[in-house]
Structure 1
Amino acid sequence: MATLNVYRKRVAFGSRGWLTAEVAAVDKNHDGRPDSRPGLSTVTLPGGQKAARLSEPSWDAGVLIRPTRPLPRHYRVEMTLRGIDFGGKRNGTFDYNGRHNGYTKEPCKTRYPWTFTGALPGKSRCDYHDVTRENGFYYMTILDYATPAPHGNPDIHFRRKVIMDGYYSDLPRWKRAATCNPKTRKMYRTFDGTFNGVNALFARGDKFIGGPDNDISTEYYAKTACGNASLDQPYGPGKRFEGHLTSAELQPQLLPKASYRFAVERDDTGYTLEMSGPFRFIGQATLRVHHDFIENGRPIWHYNQTPGEYDGRFDRKLVHKGPNGTWVTPHTWPKGSAYPDSFVIGDPHLNYYEGEAVIDDIRLYVPRKNK
């Protein structure tokens, strides 16, 4: 970590400052200036309407929008997407506008220094994993702490409760991943699509990826119009798919004339994820999925906002191992714990993702009895 500095800026905005923008950028050469200029600004759409332009010109930065205060017990929070350019294919190719998968083509774009096993001894920045085959965006995701801000990407893998994001990668490990056609309700290979999908995922609080020697993330449960799947197991007809199960594909070329809306609802029973817009194959549609806080014995990670909502039954230790040793987290979800809800929109990673998006109409609805 001594090889770089991170500069941060936090700005409240919106009605009565209910929203906060968190901006961060890396300074790799210690010259006292961020290496790029990420940010949030006002943009005018073709029809004259104002919206927010979230810009991240370099992967070694992050920009996100969050609520200034934690969300209430019951709520619906939503946002409208007017534009997206964070990778994926356009006209059948990852190469367009002088970029590859949304990244400019300079060398040495790696995940340094954050990995799931810690720093790599004897390795320089350019020896780390190249990130340009992985781009993405968080459309609406609920985290388990009050003040999210951009960090190295391993951090968020233990902080997400429910997720609506895009992850655009053609790495070989995803060659058996599937995407749902919401019109036919049949799955197809993600590699046969446009790499513009949206994932609707519930983080599991009872299973973890990478164990027992190195727990690197919660496991995930996906619900789609084509069926549901726990992503630690093969799924779909004949169990032919594995890995990510994507809910539907966006059509970025239709924006900003068209738009997409993403919403999360929390009630007494659990969380509902909703996405609306002109999806590939089906056109204009609203897709909704719900998961109880505990469903068939499967909990949503850190669902409880108060100690009284949870009895401690899913507490366990996690083991994190790397070249520099082993770290054990003895209690990950003990009785008496509590985890506020806070959403993020944008890119919470300081070592992944590059591009820009146009965001509008972030709204919070609360039932009258909770006001």
Structure 2
Amino acid sequence: MRGHGKVALAIAGTAVAAAASTAWPVAAGTASTGGWVLVDQEDFDRPLRIDGAPWRLDPQGRRSPWNVDAFDDDGEAWRKISGPLFARRLATLNVFRKRVAFGRGGWLTAEIAAVDKDRDGRPDSRPGLSTARLPGGQRVGRISEPSWDAGVLIRPTRPLPPRYRVEMTLRGLGFGGKRHGTFDYGGRHNGYTKEPCKTRYPWTFQGALPGKERCDYPDVTRENGFYYLTILDYATPAPHGNPGIHFRRKVIMDGYYSDDARWKNAGTCDPKTRRIYRTFEGTFNGVNALFPRGDLFRETANNNISNEYYIKTRCGNVSMDKPYGPGNRFEGHLTSAELQPQLMPKAAYRFAVERGRTGYTLEMSGPFLHIGQATLRVHHDFVEDGRPIWHYNQTPGEYDGRFDRRLVHRGPAGTYTTEHSWPKGSAYPDSFIIGDPHLNYYEGTADVDDVRLYVPR
């Protein structure tokens, strides 16, 4: 099996060096399943040494170890569309980080970040990743995020192989959604504690908001979520302000637990009856299985900083730039199934992504609402019916430049132009994330187990 060479990574018009990687070695005596052989796994049976690691101040700028591209936390794109106002907003806070390798040979990395809003030299909260024991004795990795202004991710330390299957098991979820028919439980609303001034400051898709201070920015507590398993197009994912990740996702399996009015016409698939019901009639514990399109971008207030999506479910396929179909009252989004968090940890859910010769497969297994125990799988070719999966190519030879285009990102103070969003000669390594990649959204806890990586037999 061939390994990764060092490649130039073109993301949003900025060249980023991808980490060099060799072929993943197959450990002696490892298990195999369904044509895949296990090369690495983490079952969280041993204590982790992550929470005790020291915090590091992110220096920001191009020399930062966490710098990505023009859409980074302090990126050129935001400065162009916001003018000096964004720089002034960003100067009101610091970001502290940890980057800690763990697992056999350090094959996984924990990326943890927290905001220091009063600039007193320490993070305002203590997010982390540690081992915990469930009531039945099972050990898990517990992602803990006590405040929305922080993020915790698990990612591979080096880019994924050309072909792979990666999977994880979810044994507990406390990042919002309804329980017993309400968003209010455990002294929280939608998973958030009830302090005031929980806003998306300072990062929005429009850049800095003129005339608004921190507490005037839009409230986030109606929008909680968690990334079960998602593939990004660069080697070192870490938590950042939420807009940037919308330009970096290859395939997505996440939960977005929101009753915001803009989702009032969204639908959710009942995988048993294969009929779509109104998302607002469900439990807000859905799984989004999405294929970001590399040929279509949102032209509204998001300013081309988000791809449109193609969604495949048991209820049919949907391109999110169009209504669901003639006479269908649903539009805006289609969720593939709903979890039942109250069944965990006795029950569990497994999420897997496979990259094969022709495309990506998304898989989820567990006791879903309406259908019970089931395995749901959907596949999309790298290019299917003229639709490309965004930045699917790991090497320049896998792509000929046909979907390259110029994107203009508009804001209140100006514009930023991505001259080449997907040029010929570009390449994008695969890296998965589990957790919360946002520094200004999401709050809660999750129990993760059995992170596994397979390669073809």
Return the TM-score normalized by structure 2: 0.80
For 1:275, the equivalent position in structure 2 comes to 364
Q: Distance in 2 between matches of 1:318 and 1:342?
A: 24
Picking from 188, 195, 203, the partner of 1:106 is: 195
For 1:49, the equivalent position in structure 2 comes to 138
Picking from 183, 186, 192, the partner of 2:281 is: 192
Picking from 249, 259, 268, the partner of 1:160 is: 249
Picking from 62, 72, 78, the partner of 2:151 is: 62
Contact 2:294/2:390, CA 8 A, preserved across alignment: yes
Q: Distance in 1 between matches of 2:139 and 2:196?
A: 36
For 1:314, the equivalent position in structure 2 comes to 403
> Quick check: which one's strand share is greater?
1
Q: Distance in 2 between matches of 1:107 and 1:155?
A: 25
Contact 2:360/2:381, CA 8 A, preserved across alignment: yes
Shift of 1:15: 1.3
For 1:124, the equivalent position in structure 2 comes to 213
Shift of 1:178: 0.4
For 1:137, the equivalent position in structure 2 comes to 226
Per-residue CA deviations over 1:102-140 (Å, capped at 9, x if unaligned) read: 000001100000011111123100111110100000000
Per-residue CA deviations over 1:54-96 (Å, capped at 9, x if unaligned) read: 0000000000100000000000000000000100000000011
The residue type equivalent to 2:392 in the other structure is: Y
**1:356 is aligned to 2:445:** yes
Q: Distance in 1 between matches of 2:302 and 2:152?
A: 33
Shift of 1:216: 2.5
For 2:430, the equivalent position in structure 1 comes to 341
Contact 2:268/2:278, CA 8 A, preserved across alignment: yes
Q: Distance in 2 between matches of 1:343 and 1:221?
A: 20
Name the count of aligned residue pairs. Answer: 368
For 1:244, the equivalent position in structure 2 comes to 333
Contact 1:213/1:319, CA 8 A, preserved across alignment: no
Shift of 1:45: 1.5
Q: Which runs of 5+ in 1 are unaligned?
A: none
Contact 1:153/1:351, CA 8 A, preserved across alignment: yes
Contact 1:211/1:319, CA 8 A, preserved across alignment: no
3-state SS, counterpart of residue 16 of structure 1: helix
Root-mean-square deviation (CA, aligned residues, Å) is: 1.1
Q: Distance in 2 between matches of 1:183 and 1:107?
A: 41
Per-residue CA deviations over 1:286-316 (Å, capped at 9, x if unaligned) read: 0000000000000000000000000000000
The residue type equivalent to 2:394 in the other structure is: Q
Shift of 1:46: 1.8
Q: Distance in 2 between matches of 1:208 and 1:239?
A: 23
Shift of 1:239: 2.8
The residue type equivalent to 1:259 in the other structure is: A
Q: Distance in 1 between matches of 2:151 and 2:301?
A: 31
Shift of 1:243: 1.2
Q: Which runs of 5+ in 2 are unaligned?
A: 1-89
Contact 2:257/2:285, CA 8 A, preserved across alignment: yes
Using the aligned pairs only, state the percent identity.
Answer: 82
Contact 1:81/1:259, CA 8 A, preserved across alignment: yes
Residues 261 and 213 of structure 1, relative CA distance in 2, 3 Å threshold? closer
For 1:285, the equivalent position in structure 2 comes to 374
Q: Distance in 1 between matches of 2:100 and 2:241?
A: 21
For 1:150, the equivalent position in structure 2 comes to 239
The residue type equivalent to 1:293 in the other structure is: F
Q: Distance in 2 between matches of 1:246 and 1:214?
A: 24
Contact 1:79/1:362, CA 8 A, preserved across alignment: yes
Q: Distance in 2 between matches of 1:366 and 1:321?
A: 42
Q: Distance in 1 between matches of 2:208 and 2:304?
A: 16
For 2:180, the equivalent position in structure 1 comes to 91
Contact 1:141/1:164, CA 8 A, preserved across alignment: yes
Residues 211 and 89 of structure 1, relative CA distance in 2, 3 Å threshold? closer
Picking from 331, 347, 350, the partner of 1:261 is: 350
Larger Rg: 2
For 2:11, the equivalent position in structure 1 comes to none
For 2:35, the equivalent position in structure 1 comes to none
Return the TM-score normalized by structure 1: 0.98
Shift of 1:211: 5.2
Shift of 1:27: 0.2
**Which has the larger displacement, 208-217 or 36-45?**
208-217
Picking from 91, 100, 109, the partner of 1:2 is: 91
Contact 2:205/2:301, CA 8 A, preserved across alignment: no
**1:296 is aligned to 2:385:** yes
